[in-house]
Structure 1
Amino acid sequence: NIFLKNYSFENQVNSVYKKNLIFIEKFYENQKNKLKNNKIFYFIFLIPNIISILYYCFLASPIYQSNSILLVTNPSRKDSDNITTLLSGSSENTNSGAYLLKERILSWDSFSNFNKKFDIIKLYSSGDFVSRVGGLTSLWSKGDVSLWHYYQKNIGVNIDGQTGITKITINAYNSNISYEISDFLINDTIKYLNNLNKTQDNYFISSSKEEVQRLEDKIKSDERNIQNWRIKSGYFDPSSDYNALTKHGLNLDEKQVSFQGQYNFSKENIPNNPATKEIKKQLDNINDSSKKAHNSAKSLFLKSSSYESLIIQKDLDEKLLNSAKIALQEARIKSFQNHYYLKIISNPSHPESPSRPKRIESILIILVSTLILKLILS
């Protein structure tokens, strides 16, 4: 009996011990879950929302946004659609000009020009400790690469993929500054496109221009050579002079035949007549003139070969010059087709009121986001 009593008592003790142990484990688990929930509540929900309310209600600096709408066209890439076609959405625009515009505005060169004009550190240092240059969003860095990324973050370039119309947004802490930046970037882009077009002109036209100039100089040299030949030989145009001498020789030959007949008749019938002697004298003169004309023609024919080579060379150069001028005209047309043209659809706006930050909307977004995250983690 004693043994049974002791055994029963021991079982009761063990049962109470187990119950207490289970209670302690449950209590510890509950405290652990409460602590975890408290951490989630404070660090995931409460603290972020307090910070967002304090920041957006009292600290966030107003940001003024200047907007402009542009279109870069290029005839060779079907970018020359009219505005009505573009807005209707039926354009076959390749958007090459739009992406060229975007890459230019966000490039290091554009940033360098902007920084020389405005000094980005001075311009964006008046904002709050989060958004200003060298602030929290920049991880307190003011190096050149960080400034470039800060510049890119405040310059928005949005492209409509269907029409190629580009919207540029400029963020600044002052209305006048946002407008001035927008106007500067548009003018800087225009200068860049003009320089790009000049480069295209040099690429397509310069070689053709040089060839035209070379041929024009060559023709002038040919004309000088012809003039020197004329001065040296004493003939203006050997072909016309040769024809004239040949014709003159033929005329003298005809006269010679006529006078020879008269002389033979007079010699046979009236040999002692003074007229016969006169005819003989004229016949001799005609013979001498005819020989001179034919000899001069032969001599001129030999000399004319060098003149003809000069004329042939000049004619060839003139034909080549005409071909070069045609090639130059085609190069100009091709260069024109590769030009980029900037069309300003909407000039930079001059905002009177800030567009950012959207305080209530931002607070609500953080509230909903942290609430969802808290429910997930809980």
Structure 2
Amino acid sequence: ITINMLYATIIVATTFFFILMGGSLVTSASSTSPLSIPDLSEWQGSLTASEVKKLKSEVPFVILRVQYGSGYKDLDFSHNAALCKKYGLKYGVYSYSLYTSPSDAKVEAKDLYERGINASFYVNDYEQQTVTSGTTNTATVDWYKELHKLAPHKRILFYSYNSFAQEYASTAMKDYDGYWLADYTSVQPTGIDYYLWQYTDNWYTSALGQYVDASKEHLKNTSWFLSSRPISYKKVVYPSKNGYDIWNNLMFTSHGGVTITGKHQYYEARYYYNHYNGRKYYSIYKNNKWIGYVNAKSMTTLKSGLMSQTIKIIKKNQIIWGNLFFTQKLANTSNYYNDLFSVKYYYNHPNGSVYYSLYNGNKWVGYVNKNNVTVK
């Protein structure tokens, strides 16, 4: 990424290391100042294995250029990306955008995805007005929509300097998952929402022995960039192991307790995240209250058993539930007293009770405690 702007050199020296313990990744930093994150292209040359290994200990991740428009593929991207993958250096990718229309924007986005398919996140680097057909905002939104369709669980960022972004893509950039702001100043910009700040084109990386463009995280952390978006799950889970950490964030810097097995120890896993450490984490809730993040390996998902029976409601004033986290009441059994329903599934709930999934023909009615019905 190249922009002709005023810059000041800022060199940030911090230590960032990972410790794997207790089934969880613990992250520690020696300073509150974020690490510099380089973005690299063929201008920095073909990396060596030694350089990539050194980069891994120097930065949290890198951002690699894939293309200059669709027509020009970065000469060193494939080689550099392969080395990053081999040695575990996480990377995002960007396309220097030259699209001329909404349809052309979709092509550029698709090319970026197909050429950088193993990337942790994607960036539309839009800093040159090239749209000649349709509106720039429409083209920039269509770029996002196309890539989001191809990579629905990965973050997609918009990059530019603010004056250009506001003039040409002020509406479109709001559709993106985040803004990467280019502003080569010694004082961090305020009054703008952004998640990466490219603060210099003159940061010295000792791993490569040269000066490069560099950015800092702002408002979001490394996990946000490198892990998946939240993926809807909405299932009952319960601890299968004691003592697994429950975290308040996915950088594992704030502890929220540990898992405990036993009756009534169950949660709603509303979402899960494919974390960049290679593990899956549930975002768990209890009675609509968020509890934290927990390693999926420590939990068991409640599964259904097949059943084909006709039952009759025999108790009044009992709840028919809309879910098995018991946060949604659908009806009262008094409304269906002595009525017949078919049961297709049953659940041995971790609260100690059995629940039937009721149907009236093909219409689902809800979940009812087995003790409130009799089998015909």
Q: Aligning the two structures, in what range does the TM-score lie when normalised by the shorter sequence?
A: under 0.3
Higher relative contact order by CA 8 Å / sep ≥ 6: 1 or 2? 1
- The structure in which a higher percent of residues are helix is 1
Q: Which structure dedicates a bigger proportion of its chain to strand?
A: 2
TM-score by length of 1: 0.16
